[in-house]
Structure 1
Amino acid sequence: MAASRKSLSNKAAAAVADSLARHVPPRARLTLALSGGLDSVVLLHLLLAQRRQHPFDLQAVHVHHGLSPHADRWADFCAQLCAARELELSIHRVRIARDDAAGIEAAARRERQRIFAVLDTDFLLTAHQQDDQAETLLLQLLRGAGPKGLAAMAEAQGRPGWRAAHLRPLLGVPRAVLLDYAQAHGMAWVDDESNQDTRYRRNALRQQVMPLLATHFPGAAATLARAAALQADAAELLDDLAQLDAATAVAGDRLDCAALAGLSRPRARNLLRYFIERHGQPMPCARQLNEALHQLLDARHDARVCVRLGQVEVWRFRGGAYLAAVAPAPAAPVRWQGETTLAVPSAGVSVRMDAELGAGLKHAMLAAGEVALGVRQGGERLRLHAGGPRRSLKNLLQERAVPPWERDRLPLLWCDGRLLWAAGIGFDADARAAPGESGIVPRVVA
């Protein structure tokens, strides 16, 4: 038994050593996500043992979700564990609404990743292991995911918006090996009682499905993890193909619809998926992706094409496909009362009102009237040139090729109900400040 446990210890240690050697340069800054559970406590022990052979700076981070009555005790355990090893620990407390529309698991994951994204470190390490990988593959398979989703978790990856790279050194190590390692070294850890709650899908897989699979298919977890690695290879090949197609089809934020139409449907779908991901957006479900592709390629040339994909929309405009954030919820215009900067919720921006001599709108006119800022309601007209006609804002936007997703969130300024300014279009000619006259210049700020 002693020899067997030593072998298991060596397997866990070798996995961490190999991962560090392949991904982590000497003297890199590492931050371990320490929950206090078995996996992260073992990873901490293994990392500390590696510092002589592979020098690096190590600290830990603990996210206090506040969902369990034992959460304070877990944070205290992590603090004591790190203090005994003279290791710096930062504890972040988050609030998670139990009625969050995304679900408690997704909300907790979202809060953790929000914290991890801004950590000032080179690598963020998590203790995901082989059984986690197998469970993730099954979850993705049951969601109908494609190769990228079925690739499950990567050992090392960069994440959009993160300062650090995400490293999972234990991804090839079974949970049983970590348990034996901890017991062999007399280690203590905390158990999250929610892990037994089979109302959560991952727990149901872990507690009920995986043991049954192992009964009929010995080594099922390792086999599933191997399948995930094969899917990762397939996903990489699909990305390589998408990059080849994107070289001629994508320019900046525009995907050429004619080039998309020249590809087979599977290849076009792959390119559209790549285009969405390249813009840092999560992958839409198959139904949404297929609908977007259908609308982009098959809708009439004069149709207004807009398909919602989560928090973004895909638009077709002048032969190209574009991604745009979903417009803010409708809101009433806001009144300007002399503020230097005024938030315009319906436009999703703020407008700075700069005082300038001989520029912008007549200050006296604005001061004497009721000034409001908002977005199009329909029927707005603007006179851009002295003595010229008051032209419809709709025609002005079309002439300037303003994309349709920008038209309905374009900040406008009215005085006593008369449109005097449209961002990017111009000022009412009769309201312009004359040379030497006090003026106000509205400017859009993020």
Structure 2
Amino acid sequence: MADSKSISPTDITDCFFHNLRAQVRPGDRLTVALSGGVDSVVLLHLLTTFSESMQLEVSAVHVEHGISTYSGEWSAFCQSLCDSLAIPLSIHRLKIRRRPQESLEAIAREARYQIFKHIQADYVMLAQHQDDQVETLILQLLRGAGVKGLSAMPTVRLLEPGKTIRLFRPLLNIPRSEILNYARLHGLSWVTDESNLDTSYDRNFLRHQILPLLEQRSPAYRKTLFRSTQHLGEAAHLLDELAEIDAENTLVTNRLSLQGLRELQPARARNLLRYLLAQRLIRLPNSTKLEEILRQLNNIQPDNHFRFIVDTLEIRCHRGLIEFLPADSLPEPIAPVVWQGEQHLVIESLQGVLKFTRQNNMGIDPARLSGQIVTIRSRSGGERFQPDCKRPRRSLKKILQEAALAPWVRNTLPLLFCEDQLVWVAGIGIDCNFQISEGSTGLVVAWHPSQINQVSTH
């Protein structure tokens, strides 16, 4: 993040250019989240000023939430503005509805971010500024947030795990007054959201009722509190470094050791759990919920199946190892799929691909499948299996338990059947009656989860 001490905020152009150059590179694709308000209009204007010299690809996105009666006019304004600047604009029209115990502002933000995830860009540019940062700090204080919450908004962060698109706030160390001065100096036009004057919203009450009084007493409060967010950001970074050390000592193949978590001091256990949840970019639980998660983890017995939902994540525990799973990654059992000799068979409901190859001295005997109906199914219960010819045929349930597969995984493994006979189980092997004899060429089946988008058609 640019250091506000080393940049004069009176020159917004130099400040913006400094922040931009520190982050982006020639050829980067930047999309401005354009609301039509003065902040995002100034951000777009500044960006177009430098885009050609820095060889940047600039576009804009506008989300029409459908909350205000004027939302259609705002969309039209944004389209007209982008047309005048020759900037491509995508408009997304939504119908936001209130949900119990959630603010409309939070629901709208969540909807916007879902749209941002599908934008083809390196950065989504947000127009939050120094006043927004200070307001967020105070609101977080009133909510009893911890160090990470009080460090407020980062200048740059990943939008979602495993992706490359980032959120970038290049105006974050610039006061609102300088943004307004810039807009007037350059004769810019913008729209005004009437809800910004509604003091029933906490942020507006703070902005219009409390902060003007604070400014009378302490005119420099913005710089002072902004500096506090930077100090808190440094403290949060140090806590993350401590959590990384604890993670190295407690993670086993990307799963958290329950015993290792229990051996940590309570404060370090909470810090580690917050860190691991934050890495998955979900809304962090409040302190009460976090304490409840730790309490349950500290009290579960080895044979219990632990399950706790946090935002879009499920926390599971099996055989002393804790997993953090996206809720939508636990699919339902699949309906039978007929295999007709394809080299690749996509199983969309399991988000994976079965690959079939021919190899010498290994795999399934193709002769046993010839002329028979071969299907891929999920486990339904009662199946019996004999992957080891030296051991008797046993229940598949028992075999999966011995393989230490978590209960939520067992029912979603793809199984290959020849008519009604179980032939192959992903991760386990081939039934003795269908194994190839030595010196012959067999059919090898391999399961590749999460590779749907990497398959070519054969």
Q: TM range, normalised to the smaller chain? A: 0.7 to 0.9
| Farther off after superposition, 193-202 or 261-270 | 193-202
Checking the alignment, whether the CA contact within 8 Å between 1:332 and 1:374 is kept in structure 2 is yes
Q: Which amino acid aligns with 1:238?
A: L
Report the more deviating stretch, 207-216 or 282-291. 207-216
Structure 2 counterpart of 1:41: 41
1:94–1:111 CA contact under 8 A, matched in 2:
no
Match of 2:131 in 1: 131
Q: Distance in 1 between matches of 2:436 and 2:27?
A: 61
TM-score by length of 1: 0.78
Comparing 23-32 with 391-400, which one deviates more in the overlay?
Answer: 23-32
Q: Which residue of 2 aligns with 1:254?
A: 255
Q: Which amino acid aligns with 1:71?
A: S
Cα drift, residue 395 of structure 1:
1.8
Q: Who is 1:61 aligned against?
A: 60
- Structure 1 equivalent of residue 5 of structure 2: none
Out of 425, 430, 445, the position equivalent to 1:422 is: 425
- Distance in structure 1 (CA, Å) of the matches to 2:446 and 2:368: 8
Please tell me whether residue 362 in structure 1 is matched to residue 369 in structure 2: yes
Output the amino acid matched with 1:185. Answer: H
- Offset at residue 440 of structure 1 (A): 11
Distance in 2 (CA, whole Å) between partners of 1:21 and 1:330 is 44
Counterpart secondary structure, 1:81: helix
- Report % sequence identity: 35
- Between the aligned partners of 2:262 and 2:339, the Cα distance in structure 1 is 52
8 Å Cα contact 1:35/1:74 also seen in 2: yes
**Alignment check: 8 A CA contact 1:43 1:127 kept:** yes
In structure 1, which of residues 402, 405, 414 is the aligned counterpart of residue 405 of structure 2?
402
Check conservation: 1:311, 1:325, Cα contact below 8 A: yes
**CA apart distance, 1:47:** 3.7
Q: 1:333 to 1:45 in 2, by over 3 A?
A: closer
The one-letter amino acid of 1:362's match is L
- Cα distance change of structure 1 residues 358 and 297 upon mapping to structure 2, 3 Å threshold: same
1:38 & 1:226 partners in 2: Cα distance? 25
Measure how far apart 1:288 and its partner are: 3.4
Deviation by residue 1:360-391 (Cα, 9 ceiling, x = unmatched): 97354437xxx68334x555433445696441
Is the Cα–Cα contact under 8 Å of residues 336 and 372 in structure 1 kept in the other structure? yes
The residue type equivalent to 2:45 in the other structure is H
Is 1:71 the counterpart of 2:57 in the alignment?
Answer: no
* Alpha-carbon shift at residue 237 of structure 1 (Å): 1.0
Change (3 A) 1:135 1:9: closer
CA contact (8 A) 2:128 2:172 kept: yes
Give 1:307-318 correspondences, 5 Å limit: 307-318=308-319
Deviation, 1:133, is 1.1
Q: What are the superposed Cα offsets for residues 321-358 of structure 1, whole Å, 9 maximum, x if unpaired?
A: 3323337788575244667757574xx44665969883
RMSD of aligned alpha carbons: 4.0
1:95 aligns with 2:99: no
Q: Which moved more, 1:66-75 or 1:262-271?
A: 66-75
Quickly say closer, same or farther: Cα 1:26–1:441, change in 2 above 3 A. closer
1:382 aligned partner, one-letter code: F
Q: 1:258 to 1:157 in 2, by over 3 A?
A: same
Quick check: 334-343 or 247-256, which moved more? 334-343
Asked whether the equivalents of residues 277 and 283 of structure 1 are also in contact (C-alpha less than 8 Å), the reply is yes
> Runs of 5+ in structure 2 lacking a partner?
1-7, 359-363, 451-458
Partner letter of residue 377 of structure 2?
L
Q: 1:4 maps to which residue? A: none
Partner residue, 2:456: none
Residue matched to 1:373: 377
